[in-house]
């Protein structure tokens, strides 16, 4: 591992930044849960799920496919300029489609209570369209994005304590959530201009270049949208069939558990994806050794975190000081080992199949998520009537466990093939 000093440095740096980044949410989210109450927090949770769905649309898998292109072409400034320009135009097109989808959601009578919060939080999607994680990650400059995002969260989110005092302030809370994305995108774009990471933006991009950007990302996009089905779309379905306070309980539990994923798994994936992508053509076996070590790190850390959630669920709910959150501890226990499952499946899939693998591996990666949807939907239909909101949590876990096993098995088959060569 010492031969990957830059990536290890990035990982440690990102984990520190993630720790700072999630220090604000760790304080703010419980405060919002307690101050807004389960119903109004459900407004935030539902709306954020819709926005994450639309952000996935705008991202279109570019954070993997374009990151890989830039990592392989970063010594050719002209190529970086063309790739960046084509990607930005593609994201603008997708933003327009996202706006149309939001318009359809706003017209659904059942979602009328969420309309004001939905419209405010759509700024997250707009800002995300003009974020450049794929560029910084491909250039090996992911620390910049991490620092900017961390500072924005640490300075903007604490304003929640000053401006949000009751459930009536739910729109203010939504605006502050969106402000983080807006300010972060503005600052990172300033870095791109100032540091000349892109020296020339072009609006005159050939259709074939944009088509190639889309086609290279399509399988990843489909798998990402499938992921959205059993994560954010489950919340959207829950918002349609259940009251906002039930949505609030579910999103509260899921957010608390998923924070652990972002703290450990995300820094590892962001730091090592460009390195594995660049090394894969010449040194596949070294990549395998590296990925195996990362899997061990995730196994140890995430197992400890899962045990902590399992044993501390009652304490977490007690800290919310709200009677209406009673029952949330059961959801936390059901999802306690979600960070472990997501991390093992994510490292195997993203670093193994996408960064190290070939087009066949990408196709398999996509198909796994399609099958997960085919498994998750019947589970949702069967378990929700039997166990209510706990059925949604169980359906989520069934889907994630399948993905984890399928990704890991495919990764092991890939490594066996590489070592036989």
Predicted confidence at residue 126, as pLDDT, reads 95
Positions of the chain with pLDDT under 50: 1-2
Alpha-carbon distance 85 to 82, whole Å?
A: 5
What tens digit of pLDDT does each residue of 92-132 get? Answer: 999 999 999 999 999 999 899 999 999 999 999 999 999 88
Number of domains in the chain: 1
| Predicted pLDDT of residue 77 | 86
From CA 71, how far away is CA 306, in angstroms rounded?
34
Nearest to 337 by CA among 316, 311, 307: 307
Q: Nearest CA to 89 among 220, 10, 206, 260?
A: 206
pLDDT value at residue 19: 53
State residue 321's pLDDT score. Answer: 59
pLDDT of the residue at 8: 61
Q: Are 152 and 184 in contact (CB under 8 A)?
A: yes
Three-class SS state of 112: helix
Q: Give me the phi and psi of 30, to 5 degrees please.
A: -60, -35
> Which of the 8 DSSP states describes residue 419?
H
Residue 103: exposed, middle, or buried by beta-carbon count in 10 A (0-12, 13-18, 19+)? Answer: exposed
Domain range for 52 is: 2-420
pLDDT of amino acid 361:
86
Q: pLDDT value at position 54?
A: 93
CB 353 within 8 Å of CB 362: yes
Q: What is the pLDDT of residue 7?
A: 55
**pLDDT tens digits for range 8-64:** 655 555 555 555 555 566 678 778 888 888 889 899 989 988 998 899 899 888 877
Q: Are 164 and 172 in contact (CB under 8 A)?
A: yes
Q: Which two tokens stand for residue 112?
A: 């009328």
> What are the backbone dihedrals phi and psi of residue 196, each rounded to the nearest 5 degrees, phi first?
55, 40
Judge if pTM exceeds 0.95: no
């Amino acid at each position: 591992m010492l031969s990957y000093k830059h990536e290890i440095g990035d990982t440690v740096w990102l984990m520190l930044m993630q720790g700072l980044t999630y220090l604000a949410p760790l304080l703010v989210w419980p405060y919002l849960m307690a101050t807004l109450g389960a119903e109004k927090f459900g407004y935030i949770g539902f709306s954020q799920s819709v926005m994450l769905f639309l952000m996935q649309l705008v991202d279109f898998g570019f954070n993997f496919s374009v990151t890989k292109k830039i990592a392989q072409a970063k010594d050719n400034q002209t190529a970086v300029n063309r790739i960046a320009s084509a990607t930005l135009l593609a994201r603008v097109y997708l933003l327009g489609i996202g706006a149309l989808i939001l318009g359809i959601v706003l017209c659904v009578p059942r979602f009328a209570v969420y309309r004001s919060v939905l419209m405010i939080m759509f700024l997250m999607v707009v800002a995300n369209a003009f974020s450049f994680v794929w560029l910084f990650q491909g250039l090996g400059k992911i620390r910049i994005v991490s620092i900017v995002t961390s500072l924005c969260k640490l300075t903007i989110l604490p304003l929640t304590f000053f401006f949000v005092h009751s459930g009536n302030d739910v729109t203010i809370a939504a605006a502050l959530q969106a402000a983080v994305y807006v300010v972060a995108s503005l600052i990172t774009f300033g870095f791109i201009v100032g540091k000349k990471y892109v020296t020339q933006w072009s609006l005159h991009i050939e259709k074939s270049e944009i088509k190639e950007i889309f086609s290279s990302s399509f399988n990843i996009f489909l798998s990402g949208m499938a992921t959205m089905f059993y994560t954010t779309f489950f919340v959207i379905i829950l918002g349609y069939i259940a009251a906002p306070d039930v949505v609030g309980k579910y999103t509260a539990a899921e957010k608390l558990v998923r924070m652990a994923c972002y703290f450990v798994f995300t820094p590892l994936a962001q730091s090592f994806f460009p390195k594995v992508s660049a090394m894969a053509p010449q040194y596949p076996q070294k990549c395998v050794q590296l990925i195996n070590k990362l899997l061990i790190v995730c196994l140890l850390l995430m197992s400890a975190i899962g045990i902590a959630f399992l044993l501390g669920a009652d304490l977490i709910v007690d800290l919310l000081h709200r009677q209406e959150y009673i029952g949330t501890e059961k959801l936390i226990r059901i999802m306690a080992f979600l960070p472990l499952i997501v991390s093992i499946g994510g490292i195997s899939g993203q670093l193994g199949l996408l960064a190290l693998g070939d087009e066949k591996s990408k196709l398999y990666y996509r198909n796994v998520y399609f099958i997960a949807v085919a498994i998750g939907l019947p589970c949702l239909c069967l378990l929700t009537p039997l166990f209510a909101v706990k059925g949604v949590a169980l359906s989520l876990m069934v889907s994630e466990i399948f993905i984890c096993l399928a990704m890991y098995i495919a990764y092991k088959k890939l490594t066996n093939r590489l070592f036989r060569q």
